[in-house]
Structure 1
């Protein structure tokens, strides 16, 4: 009964985290700004960290099944 919400949350977290990491990587590779009005180093660091955290949360949710 509890596996349904865990699967949904794990999928949402993993997809968002992977998409954020992919988007950040593409922006950095093309030397485009990651976030407007923010220092480049800080934006890259924060988006990479949050992408990794969301991806790890998704893996953790799948591990709870």
Structure 2
């Protein structure tokens, strides 16, 4: 019974983290701001680290199955 929530959480974290990394990469390559009103490099770094953290958390959830 505990594998259901772990699968759901792992999927949600992995999808959101992957999408965030992809979105950040596209915005940086196009030279567009990642976040309005924030220094471009700082926004890209923080967003990239957050995406990587969420993707890793999703993989960790799948590893706990």
How far, CA to CA, are the matches of 1:15 and 1:36 in structure 2?
24
**What's the TM-score once normalised by structure 1's chain length?**
0.99
How large is the Cα RMSD of the aligned pairs? 0.3
Report the TM-score when normalising by structure 2: 0.99
Q: How far is the alpha carbon of 1:15 from its aligned partner?
A: 0.2
Gaps of at least 5 residues in structure 1 are: none
- SS at structure 2 position matched to 1:27: helix
Other-structure match for 2:34: 34
Number of equivalences: 65
Unaligned stretches of 5+ residues in structure 2 = none
